[in-house]
Each structure stands twice: as C-alpha cells, then as structure tokens.
C-alpha cells in the first residue's frame, strides 16, 4: 500500500491507520484465537504500518509526513460499566497500540515525521455487533 501511494501520488505524505477489531470475553472464558485477533489486528498491524510508512515519509515526503492512529478511549482508562465486562483484552490491545504510537512518534521525530493518535470515545459501528443500545449508552456514560 505504501508503494502504491508513492507511485500514484509521488510520495507518502499522510497515513491514517484505522484497523481495529473488538472481541469480548471475560478472562475466565477467553480463548487464544480471541487474544491473537486482538493483538494481530489492533497492535501488530500498526507495527507493520510504521515499518514502511516512517521510512517512506522520510524519503519521499522529505520528512514532512504525518501518521494518525485511531486508538480508543479505553486505552487511556478502564470502563467500570457492567455492559463492558469482558473488554479487558480489547482495552489492553488498544493501550498497547497507544504506547506503540508513542514510540513511533519518537522514532519518526528524528526524521521529521509526526505520529499522533485519536483516542476516540464510543461510536456505534459494526465493531460492537449486536450489542444492545442500552449497553452502549451505559458504556459511553462510564468512560
């Protein structure tokens, strides 16, 4: 995707890293595939993006690029909402994404590439599946 952007636009100047998945399971019931999904999509994918985006911005955009990472407000503080029981691993993956972004910002700064995050609150998207609206409202009020 980085090579395509460089070929089409003459350089990579901005990237919005927005991959994310929500999986809910209380710790007593969590399965390895749930943990793997959360870490692979919410964290590992960012590391791969940074690996290619930061050098591309340094080289093709003269170090003037900007990377924005969509994390989550759950990365910053836990939710005590009963409706969000089982969200611990998701929140941990988003906290890892937030910290990974901060280290990418340190590395990117050396070549002038800015890396920031948007830790948004609740937005009703398909990531929440069939979660009842009452649960979403309770969660939004608890975060």
The label of the residue with tokens 């929440």 reads 128
Tokens 């972004």 correspond to: 101
**Do 17 and 65 meet the contact criterion of CB atoms below 8 Å apart?**
no
Which position has the token pair 């911005």? 57
**Residue of 22, 52, 90, 103 marked active site:** 90
**Structure tokens of 1?**
């995707």
Task: Tell me whether residue 90 is one of the annotated catalytic residues.
Answer: yes
Nearest to 66 by CA among 21, 11, 120, 127: 11
What is the dihedral angle through the alpha carbons of 50, 53, 59, 60, rounded to the nearest 10 degrees?
Answer: -170
Give catalytic residues, as residue numbers. Answer: 90
């Amino acid at each position: 995707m980085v090579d395509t952007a460089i070929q089409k636009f003459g350089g990579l100047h901005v990237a919005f890293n927005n991959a994310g998945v929500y999986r809910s399971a209380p710790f007593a019931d969590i399965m390895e595939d749930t943990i793997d999904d959360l870490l692979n999509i919410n964290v590992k994918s960012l590391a791969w993006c940074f690996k290619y985006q930061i050098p591309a911005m340094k080289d093709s955009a003269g170090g003037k690029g900007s990377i924005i990472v969509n994390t989550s407000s759950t990365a910053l503080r836990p939710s005590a909402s009963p409706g969000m029981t089982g969200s611990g691993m998701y929140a941990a993956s988003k906290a890892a994404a937030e910290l990974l972004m901060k280290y990418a910002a340190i590395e990117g700064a050396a070549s002038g590439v800015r890396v920031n995050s948007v830790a948004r609150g609740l937005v009703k998207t398909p990531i929440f599946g069939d979660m009842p609206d009452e649960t979403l409202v309770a969660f939004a009020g608890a975060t």
